[in-house]
C-alpha cells in the first residue's frame, strides 16, 4: 500500500532540482524548494518560470495556469514549516558528506512517516539511509536531465528500504508523469551502467581506426539510438564520462577498463560542448555542419595501439557490451528483464530496445559474437554466465514469451 502524497520538498534548486520541482508542481502537488542561498532559489524559480512560459508560447498552458503552478512552489533557505511534508527529493551536490548532513538534519525535523529520496547519480542509498533513524523510508529516485521532460525515474531501494516506500515512490513517479523502473542499488544503477560500456567501446573502435567518429555516430542512429556515442559524450562532458567510467571500472573491474583516448582527451582539455571542443568542434555557429575536432586526430596518432586485429568495423562490437551488461544486471537481480528496454527507452531514447539484439539474431548468436570479441579484445567482452546458461538451456531469444522461462533461470 502506498502512502498519500500532497506536500513535497525538493532540496537543491540547481539544474535537477528545478526540473523536479516543476514536475511536482505540474502534478498539482505543493512544493517547497530549498537551497542554501536566496539567490539560488531565485535563479531556480526564474528558470522554472521560463520553462512554464515556453509552454504558454506553445499553447500548452494559459497564463492563469502558470500563475497557479508558480503559486504552488515556495522557495526557502531553511528547514522551517516542513511539518506537513510527506516526501522529500534531495537534489543537492553529489558529495556524500553533503547528502549525509541533509538527511540527518531532515530526519530530525520532518514527520516520522515521511519518505526521504535522493536523486544521487552514484552514491550509496544504503549509506545515506544510515544517516537517519528511518532507514526503511530512504530510497533513490534517479531522474534524468532535463528532469521535467525525461520520462524515466530509476527507483532505487537500498538495503533497508521497505516495500511500502518503494510502492509510494513508484506511485509518486507516476503522478509526476514518469515511468518508474525499480533498480536494486548497484554502481551506475541501470541506465548508466549499460550506456558506459557502449560509449567506451565506441572509443576503442575509434582508437583502432576501424571507423570514423561520423561513421560510428551514424550507425548508432540507424540502430535506433537518438544520437551517436560521440555526440552524447560531447554533450555529457568528457570529464564527467571519464569520472563515471573510472568509477564503474573501480567497482566492476576490467569489463569497464577506460579507453586511453578518453583520458588523453580530458588531459588536453577537450571536454565536449562546455570547452567548445571534444570529439567534435562546438563553435556555436548556427546551421554549420558538425565538424570533427582536428586536434583529436593528432592525439589519436600519439596513441600506440600496437598490432590491430584485422577486422572490419561492425556496430555489434559497440552495442554488444551494452547487451551483455544488461544480462549481468539481470543475472544479479538488479532489474526485471521486462524493465530493461523500458528503462533504456525512457532514460536514453533507445527506441528498439537492447534486448532486440537477441530477437533479431538469436541469443546463441549474441553469445557467439561475445565469445569471438572476447578472444580478440579480452575481458571487456566476457559473456555473463546467465547468457551462457540461457543458450545452453535452449532459450532462443528474450522476447516476452521467453521472459517467464528466463526468470526461472536466474532464481
Ligand atoms: N545533472 C544531471 O544530469 C544529473 C542527472 C541525474 C542526477 N543528478 C544528481 O542530481 C544532484 C544535483 O545535480 P545538479 O546537476 O542539479 O547540480 P547543481 O550543481 O546544478 O545543483 C545543486 C544545487 O544544490 C544546492 N545545494 C548544495 N548544498 C545544499 C544543501 N546543503 N542544501 C540545499 N541545497 C544545496 C546548490 O547550491 C545547487 O543550487 C546530484 O546529486 C547529481 O549527481 C544530476
What are the boundaries of each domain within the chain? 7-182, 189-411
Task: Report in angstroms the alpha-carbon separations of 200 from 63, 207, 268, 364.
Answer: 46, 11, 18, 24
**Distance, CA 240 to ligand 1 centroid (Å)?**
14
Query: What's the pLDDT tens digit per position in 223-267?
Result: 999 999 999 999 999 999 999 999 999 999 999 999 999 999 999
Segment 70-123, tens digit of pLDDT: 999 999 999 999 999 999 999 999 999 999 999 999 999 999 999 999 999 999
Instruction: Tell me the average pLDDT across 375-381.
Output: 96
This prediction has a pTM of 0.93
Are domains 7-182 and 189-411 of this chain identical in fold? no
Domain 189-411, CATH: 1.10.1040.50
CA of 410 to the centre of ligand 1 (A): 37
Residue 305 has pLDDT above 70, yes or no: no
Ligand 1 within 6 A of CB of 120: yes
pLDDT score of 374 more than 90:
yes
Pocket test for ligand 1, best of 9, 10, 11, 15 (most atoms within 8 A of CB): 15
Question: What is the percentage of the chain residues whose pLDDT exceeds 90?
Answer: 86
Band of pLDDT at residue 132, cut at 50, 70 and 90: very high
| Alpha carbon of 16 to ligand 1 centroid (Å) | 6
Residue of minimum CA distance from atom 39 in ligand 1: 14
Q: Which of 176, 177, 125, 241 is nearest to 5 (CA)?
A: 176
The response to whether residue 17 sits with its C-beta less than 6 Å from ligand 1 reads yes
For residues 351 and 62, give the distance between their C-alpha atoms in angstroms, rounded to a whole number.
Answer: 32
Active site residue 267: no
150 close to ligand 1 (CB < 6 Angstrom)? no
Distance between CA atoms of residues 355 and 182, nearest Å: 18
Q: Higher confidence at residue 1 or residue 265?
A: 265
Q: Is 165 in the pocket of ligand 1 (CB under 6 A)?
A: no
Q: Could you tell which of 9, 12, 38, 191 is best to mutate to test the pocket of ligand 1, judged by most ligand atoms within 8 Å of the CB? A: 12
Regarding the beta carbon of 35 and ligand 1, being less than 6 Å apart is answered yes
Can you name the CATH fold of 7-182? Rossmann fold (3.40.50)
Q: Which of 63, 90, 105, 154 is catalytic?
A: 154
Amino acid at each position: 500500500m502506498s502512502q498519500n502524497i500532497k506536500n513535497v520538498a525538493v532540496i537543491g534548486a540547481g539544474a535537477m532540482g528545478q526540473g523536479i520541482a516543476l514536475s511536482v508542481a505540474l502534478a498539482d502537488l505543493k512544493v517547497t524548494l530549498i537551497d542554501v542561498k536566496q539567490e539560488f532559489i531565485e535563479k531556480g524559480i526564474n528558470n522554472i518560470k521560463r520553462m512554464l512560459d515556453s509552454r504558454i508560447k506553445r499553447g500548452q498552458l494559459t497564463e492563469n495556469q502558470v500563475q497557479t503552478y508558480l503559486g504552488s512552489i515556495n522557495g526557502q533557505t531553511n528547514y522551517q514549516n516542513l511539518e506537513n511534508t510527506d516526501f522529500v527529493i534531495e537534489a543537492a551536490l553529489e558529495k556524500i558528506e553533503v547528502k549525509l548532513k541533509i538527511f540527518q538534519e531532515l530526519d530530525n525535523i520532518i514527520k516520522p512517516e515521511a519518505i526521504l529520496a535522493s536523486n544521487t547519480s552514484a552514491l550509496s542509498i544504503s549509506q545515506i539511509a544510515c544517516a537517519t533513524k528511518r532507514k526503511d523510508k530512504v530510497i533513490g529516485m534517479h531522474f534524468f536531465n532535463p528532469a521535467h521532460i525525461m520520462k524515466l525515474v530509476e527507483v532505487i531501494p537500498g538495503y533497508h528500504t521497505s516495500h511500502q516506500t518503494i510502492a509510494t515512490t513508484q506511485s509518486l513517479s507516476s503522478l509526476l508523469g514518469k515511468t518508474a523502473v525499480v533498480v536494486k542499488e548497484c554502481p551506475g544503477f541501470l541506465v548508466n551502467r549499460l550506456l558506459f560500456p557502449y560509449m567506451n567501446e565506441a572509443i576503442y573502435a575509434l582508437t583502432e581506426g576501424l571507423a570514423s567518429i561520423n561513421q560510428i555516430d551514424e550507425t548508432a542512429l540507424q540502430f535506433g539510438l537518438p544520437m551517436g556515442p560521440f555526440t552524447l559524450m560531447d554533450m555529457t562532458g568528457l570529464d564527467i564520462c571519464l569520472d563515471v567510467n573510472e568509477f564503474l571500472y573501480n567497482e566492476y573491474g576490467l569489463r569497464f577498463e577506460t579507453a586511453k583516448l578518453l583520458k588523453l582527451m580530458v588531459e588536453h582539455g577537450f571536454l565536449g560542448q562546455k570547452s567548445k571542443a571534444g570529439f567534435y568542434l562546438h563553435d556555436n555557429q548556427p546551421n554549420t555542419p558538425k565538424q570533427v575536432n582536428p586536434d583529436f586526430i593528432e592525439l589519436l596518432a600519439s596513441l600506440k595501439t600496437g598490432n590491430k586485429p584485422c577486422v572490419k568495423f561492425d556496430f555489434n562490437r559497440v552495442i554488444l557490451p551494452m547487451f551483455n551488461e544488461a544480462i549481468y544486471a539481470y543475472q544479479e537481480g538488479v532489474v526485471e528483464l521486462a524493465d530493461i528496454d523500458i528503462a533504456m527507452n525512457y532514460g536514453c531514447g533507445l527506441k528498439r530496445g537492447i534486448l532486440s539484439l537477441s530477437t533479431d539474431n538469436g541469443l546463441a548468436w549474441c553469445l557467439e559474437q561475445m565469445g569471438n570479441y572476447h578472444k580478440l579484445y579480452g575481458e571487456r567482452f566476457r559473456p555473463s554466465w546467465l547468457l551462457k546458461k540461457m543458450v545452453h538451456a535452449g532459450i532462443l531469444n528474450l522476447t516476452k514469451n521467453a521472459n517467464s522461462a528466463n526468470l526461472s533461470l536466474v532464481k
